[in-house]
Amino acid sequence: MQGGYQVTFTRAARDDLARLPAREQRRIAERISRLATMPRPVGAEKLTGLPRTYRVRAGDYRVVYQVDDGARAVMIERIGHRRDVYRGL
């Protein structure tokens, strides 16, 4: 994709996504696919204390990711329910 970012997942993020119900997986996968063309969409928030780290909402779930503009890459770090996803970051 010209001008896009490459989206990759950590093992933890892949496992997080696999544990969710299929309906939520589809919703979150759609949200993540849009990060390839717009890594900082409206509603994305920078996480304080974590360099280049952002989060986007997908219903009650959050996708935590890092953006590397030099490499044109988005690394999905964690996916989880809003009450749990920030633990251990």
Domains in the chain (CATH in brackets) are 6-81 (3.30.2310.20)
Half-sphere exposure of 14 (CA within 13 A, CB side): 5
Residue 2 has pLDDT above 70, yes or no: no
The total of other beta-carbon atoms located within 10 Å of residue 13's CB is 20
| Global pTM value | 0.92
Residue 20 has pLDDT above 70, yes or no: yes
54-85 residue pLDDT tens: 999 999 999 999 999 999 999 999 999 999 99
Tell me the two tokens of residue 23. 């309906």
Tell me the two tokens of residue 48. 């304080």
How much is the pLDDT for 3?
62
